[in-house]
Amino acid sequence: MNNFDWQWWQFFLTLCEYSSISKAADSLAISQPTLSRHLLAMEKQLGQSLFDRSTQGLTLTSFAESLLQEGKVMQASALRLQRIAQGQAQQLKGRVRLSVNEMLAQYYLPDLLPEFMHRYPDISLEIEVSNKASSIDKRDADIAVRMFAPTQPDLIARHIIDLPLAFVASPLYIQEHGAPQNIAALLDHRLLGFDRDQQFVQGAHSLGWTVCNEQFLFRSDFMPLQFELARKGGGIVVTHQKLALKKGLSEIAVGVDLLPLPIYLVCHRDVQHNPRIRVMMDFLGEHLAPLFS
């Protein structure tokens, strides 16, 4: 394999992940024809096909399966090398990418970040807003604020606080519709819930309450919209208790103790001593908890 382009292994692993040339091309930020040309060139260089093509997408050949594990090992080593190399810079300048969910981005970070930006004017901040867990291993983010403890051995987690949750509604809604006193009565009210996201359903099941998203009379996976609709009298929502009370919503007691939401700061162990990431971790660790209180 003389003159083998090592970037092809990244293309190969991405194609394995997505089983689709179009989706892999989007992930790699290249065009579909370009990725197809690279794949054909790679197969020609290797002398064997890597994928079987069909209308359902790509399926690994047995030859490709024999390469996959070693390719993942090589990718992990390359990412580790990148993290270590970037961590050698001692000046507090450069990029830090933070991943948070929608509620944190909308209602908490605006109170935090101006001070951080004032303290560290040469650090460039990138904020990824998503309710899905970003891949810290793959450098989708340097730091993530997560609502669950990570299980990957290469991740470092710092527990910040357990955030109380509550059923809440606006005083206007309660005045017009009354406040339910139990779960059965709650189901007769206008619940503001998720569309495809299953986190409420999973939490309800853990409490022995059988519910599905289709029972909500309003559904959206955008949590700030749920919250703001509740503030305007649109219905009842489960959300951050103390934030809701600060914003004028009223708590509704239905005889169920909701499990608190744990808040963790997470980064990869290879970058925990990177100065930029260290100061961001320390800043968030110091300033997040008081905002939740």
pLDDT digits (tens, 9 = 90+) for 75-126: 776 776 666 655 544 457 888 999 999 999 999 999 999 999 999 999 999 9
25: left (phi over 0), alpha (psi -120 to 50) or beta: alpha
Phi, psi of 28 (to 5 degrees): -85, -5
Contacts of 260 (CB under 8 A, 6+ apart): 162, 163, 164, 165
d(CA 215, CA 195): 10
Return the sign of the alpha-carbon dihedral for residues 49, 54, 57, 62: negative
Above 80 in pLDDT, residue 232? Answer: yes
The DSSP line for 47-116 is TS--EEEETTEEEE-HHHHHHHHHHHHHHHHHHHHHHHHHTT--SS-EEEEEEE-HHHHHHTHHHHHHHH
**Which of 281, 8, 293, 31 has the alpha carbon at shortest distance from 159?**
281
Where does the pLDDT of residue 213 fall: very low under 50, low under 70, confident under 90, or very high at 90 and above? low
Place of tokens 């600060």: 246
Q: What is the pTM of this model?
A: 0.65
pLDDT higher at 77 or 230: 230
* Mean pLDDT score across all residues of the chain: 85
Position 231 scores a pLDDT of: 97
Domains of the chain with CATH codes: 7-86 (1.10.10.10), 94-163+262-292 (3.40.190.10), 165-259 (3.40.190.10)
